[in-house]
Amino acid sequence: MSKRSAKYPVIAIDGPAAAGKGTLARQLAEVLELPYLDTGLLYRAVARRVLDRGGDPAHDGPEQARQLVPEDMRRNDLREPEVDQAASIVARHPEVRAALLERQRHFGRARGAVVDGRDIGTVVFPDAPAKFFITASPEVRAQRRYEQRHGQPCTDPTRLAEEVAAINTRDEQDAARAAAPLRPAEDAVMVVTDDLDAAGVLEHVCQILQEKGIIRR
Ligand code: CDP
């Protein structure tokens, strides 16, 4: 029997760059037997299309967002550092966000979902029965992102400082934009993950979902 008690819930997972949203969302989707949607991939795919065409991420996002096809999200070059920054730039444009909004809602409405991003609890699914905002210090997030990319911890302080700077730039950009800025929904549960590993975060979140009656006891 499924652990899920609510039929088709949407679980919103938001937070700044490299906070571990994807790891948590993927594991949670498995536990709850729900589909998983990584909305960052949509913005990354739009940015990739703009870069491939030699366009300007600040201006050419809307056209590419309207032409996005499912194969764009299956590319294996969406997580490169140049795409991190370009995704954050295309994501500022209200027309890009508008072009992607209905796709996200359609995905979640069909049979519930675990959805991760920046504006899931505030804009995409404001009625989600469970919202989490996952954070950690920029230093911890930079180290995690480095390990994810290189398969080992970063021991070079200069290199780590560059990673921290890139993360801070993106967070500032994401939080300062007028359209759907990065911020916790009023009813989001904050989860600070500096001292938790992936299993610890999952356990903590599952406990809250039990308290909310979304996971069976
Ligand atoms: O995995 P990471 O946290 O590094 O980033 P991501 O979730 O893949 O998102 C990449 C970029 O897309 C972010 O920096 C945001 O600018 C944008 N984004 C957004 O604006 N809204 C979302 N729901 C998801 C991502």
Residues 6+ apart with CB under 8 A from 208: 130, 132, 189
**In the prediction, which pLDDT does 8 show?**
85
On whether the CB atoms of residues 55 and 64 are closer than 8 A, the answer is yes
Backbone φ/ψ region at 151: left (φ over 0), alpha (ψ -120 to 50), beta? left
**In the prediction, which pLDDT does 146 show?**
94
Q: Are residues 151 and 176 in the same domain?
A: yes
Within a domain: residue 4?
Answer: no
Regions of the chain short of the pLDDT cut 70: 1
Cα angle, residue 160 at apex, residues 155 and 164 outer, rounded to 5°: 155
Q: Are residues 123 and 205 in the same domain?
A: yes
Which of 75, 110, 145 is the C-terminal boundary of a domain? 110
Q: Are residues 145 and 189 in the same domain?
A: yes
- Name the phi and psi angles at 18, rounded to 5: 55, 35
Which of 69, 89, 110 is the C-terminal boundary of a domain? 110
Q: Are residues 129 and 195 in the same domain?
A: yes
CA of 182 to the centre of ligand 1 (A): 9
Give the SS3 label for residue 130: strand
**In the prediction, which pLDDT does 95 show?**
97
pLDDT digits (tens, 9 = 90+) for 164-203: 999 999 999 999 999 999 999 999 999 999 999 999 999 9
Residues 6+ apart with CB under 8 A from 55: 64
Q: Are residues 103 and 91 in the same domain?
A: yes
Q: What residue ranges line ligand 1, CB within 6 angstroms?
A: 17-18, 22, 39-40, 43-44, 84, 87-88, 91, 117-119, 170, 174
CA of 92 to the centre of ligand 1 (A): 11
CATH number assigned to the domain comprising residue 147: 3.40.50.300
Q: Are residues 118 and 102 in the same domain?
A: no
First to last CA, the chain: 12
Residue 184: domain span: 9-35+112-211
The residue assigned the tokens 């940015």 is 47
The pTM (predicted TM-score) of the whole model is 0.95
Overall number of domains in the chain: 2
Give the SS3 label for residue 36: strand
Q: Are residues 75 and 129 in the same domain?
A: no
**In the prediction, which pLDDT does 216 show?**
81
On whether the CB atoms of residues 35 and 107 are closer than 8 A, the answer is yes
* Ligand 1 atom with the shortest distance to the CA of 104: 23
CA of 216 to the centre of ligand 1 (A): 31
Residues 6+ apart with CB under 8 A from 70: none
Within a domain: residue 120?
Answer: yes
* Ligand 1 atom with the shortest distance to the CA of 119: 23
Binding-site residues for ATP: 15-23
Ligand 1 pocket test, candidate residues 10, 38, 39, most atoms within 8 A of CB: 39
Which of 94, 110, 126 is the C-terminal boundary of a domain? 110
Q: Are residues 170 and 188 in the same domain?
A: yes
The residue assigned the tokens 């993927």 is 26
Return the DSSP state at 188: P
The residue assigned the tokens 């030699």 is 54
Within a domain: residue 126?
Answer: yes
Q: Are residues 148 and 203 in the same domain?
A: yes
Backbone φ/ψ region at 15: left (φ over 0), alpha (ψ -120 to 50), beta? left
For residues 136 and 151, give the distance between their C-alpha atoms in angstroms, rounded to a whole number.
20
Q: Are residues 127 and 202 in the same domain?
A: yes
Tokens representing residue 184 in the block? 């916790």
**In the prediction, which pLDDT does 1 show?**
59
Within a domain: residue 2?
Answer: no
